[in-house]
């Protein structure tokens, strides 16, 4: 069975629901993970997704900020939510696909929205950056992020860190810019290594190739300048490491009308 999983920071699901529909009609992912939905659960556009063929939806939303959702054509066996850093700010939702989805062996998907961290990369003067570093530390030791041997797990989301030199348009220029500072990169890589996660994008498209999934709204001609960063990730546990066959970064979505500054990232795997 082939499974396609897409992650996308949509930057308001209600504002950009037509763009989500456009993506769905083009890519037809089995599982769509959205971040920054900016929508309380009781205002989520459930009916629109069901008309598009997505009956199964797990939500962790709030008004105006943050928010994550897993939208699926396949039913869930269970869902879960976890709060980090003692805050109730809607940054995680998890689902298990199992018998109800026709799978002999269960598969877990965790969808994350890591704090952006503000503009100043100094935790002593910027509480947003302090929160981000604490979140990454907690992520490294979280049971969700430490799959047991043989466990089939996927972690996706806007992790808000471009960890490798070629995940940004200029490594030297961004060393002191939040999302690519050494301390952030070290902490995200530590979380990846702690769980023996495989970074799907870099497994299929190794460095030194440049890979980006985000282009700033501040760049008037983003396509020509191409000053991007790879902030959106799909990781798989070692049990799925040889099952991933394709990765697509839908760069064209950045050029759609009233786009998100992130674009969808899709992985295809044989489960």
- Structural domain boundaries in the chain: 2-270
Tens of pLDDT along 16-30?
999 999 999 999 999
**Mean pLDDT over each residue of the chain, to the nearest integer:** 97
Q: What percent of the chain is helix, strand and coil (3-state, nearest 5)?
A: 25, 25, 45
Tens of pLDDT along 39-97?
999 999 999 999 999 999 999 999 999 999 999 999 999 999 999 999 999 999 999 99
pLDDT at residue number 245 = 96
pLDDT higher than threshold 90 for residue 220: no
Q: Within 10 Å of residue 3's Cβ, how many Cβ atoms? A: 22
pLDDT at residue number 219 = 85
92-97 and 153-158 beta bridge pairing:
unpaired
Q: In whole angstroms, what separates CA 139 from the centre of its chain?
A: 14
Fold of 2-270: Deoxyribonuclease I; Chain A (3.60.10)
């Amino acid at each position: 069975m082939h499974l396609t999983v897409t992650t996308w920071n949509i930057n308001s699901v209600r504002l950009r629901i037509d763009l989500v529909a456009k993506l769905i009609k083009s890519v037809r992912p089995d599982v769509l993970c959205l971040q920054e939905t900016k929508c309380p659960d009781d205002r989520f556009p459930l009916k629109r997704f069901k008309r598009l063929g997505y009956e199964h939806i797990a939500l962790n939303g709030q008004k105006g900020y943050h928010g994550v959702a897993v939208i699926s054509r396949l039913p869930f066996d269970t869902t879960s939510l976890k709060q980090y850093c003692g805050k109730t700010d809607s940054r995680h939702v998890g689902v298990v696909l199992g018998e109800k989805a026709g799978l002999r062996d269960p598969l877990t998907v965790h969808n994350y929205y890591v704090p952006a961290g503000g503009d100043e990369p100094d935790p002593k003067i910027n509480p947003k950056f302090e929160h981000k570093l604490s979140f990454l530390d907690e992520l490294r030791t979280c049971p969700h992020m430490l799959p047991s041997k043989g466990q089939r797990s996927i972690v996706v989301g806007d992790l808000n860190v471009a960890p490798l030199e070629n995940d940004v348009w200029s490594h030297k220029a961004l060393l002191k810019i939040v999302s690519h500072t050494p301390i952030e990169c070290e902490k995200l890589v530590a979380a990846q290594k702690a769980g023996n996660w495989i970074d799907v994008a870099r497994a299929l498209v190794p460095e030194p190739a440049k890979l980006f999934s985000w282009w700033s709204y501040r760049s008037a001609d983003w396509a020509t300048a191409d000053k991007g960063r790879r902030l959106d990730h799909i990781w798989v546990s070692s049990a799925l490491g040889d099952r991933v066959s394709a990765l697509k970064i839908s760069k064209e979505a950045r050029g759609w009308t009233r786009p998100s500054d992130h674009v969808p990232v899709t992985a295809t795997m044989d489960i």
